Amino acid sequence: RIAYVNGRYVRHADAVVHVEDRGYQLADGVYEVCEIARGFIIDMKGHLDRLDRSLSELRMGWPLERSALELVMREVIRRNHVRNGLVYLQVTRGVSPRDHAFPTKPVRPALVVTAKRTDPRVSARKAEKGMAVITVPENRWERVDIKTIGLLPNVLARQAAVDAGAQEAWFVDPDGTVKEGASTNAWIVSKDGVLVTHPADFGILRGITRATVMRIAAEHDLKVEERHFTVEEAQAAREAFVTSATSVVTPVISIDGKAIANGHPGSIARSLREAFFAIAE
């Protein structure tokens, strides 16, 4: 495998960053994960627009011009022979002696790009099985709309899910409102067939897959409501599912051990997943 690190293509095993990289020491950086299907980067524009926003919220510049970054992403994908998989990119503020405040001397943002293959049959099998979800108290900061590499609450939430024999954890506010998963957006299908997901305000990450699913829903005359929903409403819903670049659309079959409907993946989630791959051509 080959990775791109600060201007060079290196063997994945030799891909390292400096110990004083501010991403390493302070999680002072942002990232994106894009899905690659049949050789295409899905919604690269959406991901790079969101990267632009994340960078500006951290008052950081682009490590390369946008068009050059696109070329690097394509080159990493090409060198790793990825037809189906993921491309990961991370931008940190750069290497500077440890200090919480921004470096006073100008530093070059550090850029890392990696790509890996995934087996579409494995993710298809996961989607056919559906996933079990647990809920955890929302304990993240308010700016989860920024895609930062500071993911400790997400890491702990996901591990809590794994420890419970589940695959994802949903962050829930004290009033029962479901926000989103550790690395996915959360959706339900209400009793009357309406797709419901948390509004893309400051309480969640504005998922790129979430936006694509909204477009697909509109094309299929499915109604979407961006509104709050509770764990209780989700447990009583007709269907539930998650979206992300890594999971695409994956049905949820239980929440905190309570089966959703008959405990099998729902038909709307399944058809949204199919429709997603149909436009990914």
By CB under 6 A, the residues from 206 to 265 that bind ligand PDD are: 207-210, 243-246
Is the distance from CB of 39 to CB of 29 less than 8 angstroms?
Answer: no
Q: How many CB atoms lie within 10 A of CB 81?
A: 11
Catalytic residue among 45, 126, 129, 147: 147
Any contact of residue 197 with ligand PDD (CB under 6 A)?
A: no
CA dist 160 and 111 (Å) reads 31
Binding-residue total with ligand PDD (CB under 6 A): 14
- Closest approach, Cβ 97 to ligand PDD, in A, equals 29
CA angle, 25 as apex, 22 and 28 as ends, to 5°?
Answer: 45
> Of the two residues 96 and 244, which places its CB atom closer to ligand PDD in the complex?
244
Any contact of residue 33 with ligand PDD (CB under 6 A)?
A: yes
> Of the two residues 114 and 185, which places its CB atom closer to ligand PDD in the complex?
185
Q: Return the DSSP state at 22.
A: H
Q: Which two tokens stand for residue 217?
A: 């829903």
Q: Kindly give the residue spans of alpha helices, DSSP state H, lying in 173-226.
A: 208-219
> Of the two residues 95 and 153, which places its CB atom closer to ligand PDD in the complex?
153
Q: Which residues contact 127 (CB under 8 A, 6 or more apart)?
A: 247, 248, 249, 250, 251, 265, 270, 273
Q: Is 147 a catalytic residue?
A: yes
Any contact of residue 157 with ligand PDD (CB under 6 A)?
A: no
> Of the two residues 135 and 184, which places its CB atom closer to ligand PDD in the complex?
184
Active-site annotation, residues: 147
The contact set with ligand PDD (CB under 6 A) reads 33, 180, 183-185, 205, 207-210, 243-246
